[in-house]
Structure 1
Amino acid sequence: MANISSIGVGSGLDLSTLLDGFRTSEESVLSTITQRKSTENARLSAYGQLSSAIEKLQTAAKAFEGDTTFGQYATSQTGESFSASASSSAVAGSYRIHVTSLASTQTLIANGVADKTAQNGTGGKVSFTLKNGDIKELNLEGKSTSIQDIAAAINADSELGISASIMNDGSGSPYRLMLSTTATGTEAAISNITVEDNDGNLGTLLNKSAMQEQAASDAVIKVNGIEVTQATNKLENVIQGVTLNLSKVDTEAQTLTVTRNDDKAKAAINEFITAYNNVQKFIKSSTAYTEGAGGSVLNGDSTARTAQTRLSGIMNFQSSNGGAFKTLSDLGIRTQADGSIQLDEEKFGKALTENRDDIAKLFQDKTNGIATYTQNVTKSLISSTTGIVTTASNGTKTRIEELNSQYERKQAQIEATMERYRAQFTALDSLVAKMNGTSAYLSQQLSMWNTSGSK
Structure 2
Amino acid sequence: MAFSTSASNTYDPTASAQALTDKYTADLQARITAQTKAATATSGGLVNLKMALTSFSSSLLGLTNGKTLLTQSAALSNTALGSATTSSTAAAGTYSLFVEQVATNHQVSFGNLGDTPSAEAGTLKIKVGTGDFTVDLSKANNNGDQLLSVKEIAAAINAEPKNNSRVTASVITIGGVAQLVLTSNVSGAEGKLDFDTSALGSGALGTAMTPKPKELVEAKNAILWVGARPVDGVDNGSRVEQSSNTFSNIDGVKMTFTKAQAIGDAPMTLTVALDSSATTTNAQSFVTAYNKLKAVLDGLTDPGDPSSGKAAGVFSTDSGVRVLRDQLVRTLRETAAGSLATFGITAQRNGTLALDTTKFEAAMKANPAGLDKAIGNYSSNTPSGIAGKLNKFVDSWTSSNGMLTQRETSVSKLQKSLGERQTKFEADYTAMYNRYKAQFTQLQSLQARMAQTTDMFDALFSSDKTK
Q: TM-score range by the shorter chain?
A: 0.7 to 0.9
Q: Deviations over 1:233-252 (max 9, x none)?
A: 52312443322222234454
Q: Deviations over 1:122-152 (max 9, x none)?
A: 757858596xxx4747486987897957766
CA–CA distance in 2 between the matches of 1:117 and 1:341? 77
Equivalent residue for 2:283, pick from 269, 294, 305 = 269
CA–CA distance in 1 between the matches of 2:448 and 2:423? 37
1:392 aligns with 2:388: no
Q: Deviations over 1:255-304 (max 9, x none)?
A: 43322224444333323333323333333343315364585432211332
Equivalent residues of 1:100, 1:221 under 8 A apart: yes
Equivalent residues of 1:69, 1:264 under 8 A apart: no
Equivalent residues of 2:188, 2:243 under 8 A apart: yes
Code of the aligned partner of 2:163: S
Q: Summarize the Cα distance change of 1:88–1:296 in structure 2 as closer, same or farther, 3 Å threshold.
A: closer
Partner of 2:103: 103
CA–CA distance in 2 between the matches of 1:10 and 1:39? 52
Say which SS state the counterpart of residue 453 (structure 2) adopts: helix
Partner of 2:361: 349
Code of the aligned partner of 1:206: T
Percent same amino acid among aligned pairs? 21
CA deviation after TM superposition for structure 1 residue 372, in Å: 4.0
RMSD (CA atoms)? 4.2
CA deviation after TM superposition for structure 1 residue 176, in Å: 5.1
CA–CA distance in 1 between the matches of 2:461 and 2:119? 135
How high is the TM-score relative to the length of structure 2?
A: 0.73
Equivalent residue for 2:428, pick from 413, 429, 434 = 413
CA deviation after TM superposition for structure 1 residue 225, in Å: 1.5
Equivalent residues of 1:163, 1:179 under 8 A apart: yes
Partner of 2:323: 306
In the alignment, structure 2 segments of 5+ residues that lack a partner are 142-147, 231-238
1:35 aligns with 2:10: no
Code of the aligned partner of 2:322: R
CA–CA distance in 1 between the matches of 2:153 and 2:304? 83
Say which SS state the counterpart of residue 383 (structure 2) adopts: coil
Q: Deviations over 1:370-419 (max 9, x none)?
A: 43443342232134x42323432442343233333323322332332232
How high is the TM-score relative to the length of structure 1?
A: 0.75
Say which SS state the counterpart of residue 259 (structure 1) adopts: strand
Partner of 2:251: 240
Code of the aligned partner of 1:375: N
Partner of 1:382: 398
Q: Summarize the Cα distance change of 1:139–1:271 in structure 2 as closer, same or farther, 3 Å threshold.
A: closer
Equivalent residues of 1:96, 1:256 under 8 A apart: yes
Say which SS state the counterpart of residue 369 (structure 2) adopts: helix
CA–CA distance in 2 between the matches of 1:346 and 1:150? 65
1:225 aligns with 2:228: yes
1:339 aligns with 2:351: yes
Equivalent residues of 1:165, 1:177 under 8 A apart: yes
CA–CA distance in 2 between the matches of 1:378 and 1:353? 32
Say which SS state the counterpart of residue 88 (structure 2) adopts: coil
Equivalent residues of 2:106, 2:184 under 8 A apart: yes
Q: Deviations over 1:64-94 (max 9, x none)?
A: 2345552532233334121222222323234
Alignment of 1:16-415 (within 5 A): 16=12, 19=17, 21-29=19-27, 30-66=29-65, 69-77=68-76, 78-110=78-110, 112-113=112-113, 115-118=114-117, 134=130, 136=132, 138=134, 148=150, 155=158, 156=160, 157-158=162-163, 162-165=167-170, 167-170=172-175, 174=177, 177-186=180-189, 188-189=191-192, 196=198, 200=202, 202=206, 205-208=209-212, 214-226=217-229, 228-232=239-243, 234-251=245-262, 252-253=265-266, 254-287=268-301, 288-290=303-305, 292=307, 295-312=312-329, 314-315=331-332, 328=340, 331-361=343-373, 362-364=375-377, 366-383=382-399, 385-415=400-430
CA–CA distance in 2 between the matches of 1:94 and 1:83? 15
CA–CA distance in 2 between the matches of 1:46 and 1:144? 65
In the alignment, structure 1 segments of 5+ residues that lack a partner are 1-8, 319-324
CA–CA distance in 1 between the matches of 2:387 and 2:240? 43
1:12 aligns with 2:11: no
Q: Summarize the Cα distance change of 1:141–1:278 in structure 2 as closer, same or farther, 3 Å threshold.
A: closer
CA–CA distance in 2 between the matches of 1:303 and 1:118? 83
CA–CA distance in 2 between the matches of 1:177 and 1:447? 124
